[in-house]
Amino acid sequence: MKKIIVPVDFSEHSEYALKAAASIAKKHQAEILVLHMLEIGAASISESTLQQQETTLFYLKLAEKNFKNFLKKPYLEAVKVTPIVKHYIAFKEVNNVAEEYNADLIVMGSHGASGMKELFLGSNTEKVVRNSNVPVLVVKQEQEDVHFEDVVFATDFSEEAIEGYQRVMNFLSNFADKIHIVHVNTPYGDFQSSTEIENKVAHFLLKAEGNLDRLNSIHYIADYTVEKGILNFCNVVGSDLIAVITRGKKGLTHFFSGSVSEDVTNHALLPVIAFKM
CB 271 within 8 A of CB 240: yes
Exposed (0-12), middle (13-18) or buried (19+): which is 50, by Cβ within 10 Å? exposed
In the prediction, which pLDDT does 112 show?
Answer: 57
CATH class of the 3-139 domain in this structure: alpha beta
Q: Where are the domains of the chain?
A: 3-139, 150-276
In the prediction, which pLDDT does 258 show?
Answer: 40
**One CATH from 3.40.50.620, 3.40.50.2300, 3.30.420.40, 3.40.640.10 for 150-276:** 3.40.50.620
Q: Which amino acid is at 105?
A: L
Give per-residue pLDDT as tens, 129-182: 777 889 999 998 887 778 888 999 988 898 888 998 999 999 998 888 899 999
Residues 6+ apart with CB under 8 A from 57: none
How far is 252 from 263, CA to CA, in rounded Å? 9
CB 20 within 8 A of CB 271: yes
In the prediction, which pLDDT does 210 show?
Answer: 96
In the prediction, which pLDDT does 52 show?
Answer: 63
In the prediction, which pLDDT does 116 show?
Answer: 38
Neighbours of 155 (CB within 10 A): 25
* Common-topology check for domains 3-139 and 150-276: yes
Exposed (0-12), middle (13-18) or buried (19+): which is 177, by Cβ within 10 Å? exposed
In the prediction, which pLDDT does 43 show?
Answer: 43
- Local mean pLDDT, 10-residue blocks, the chain (277 residues): 92 91 93 84 52 68 80 92 80 84 92 46 68 89 83 90 92 89 87 91 96 92 91 93 75 45 77 87
In the prediction, which pLDDT does 242 show?
Answer: 93
Half-sphere exposure of 237 (CA within 13 A, CB side): 23
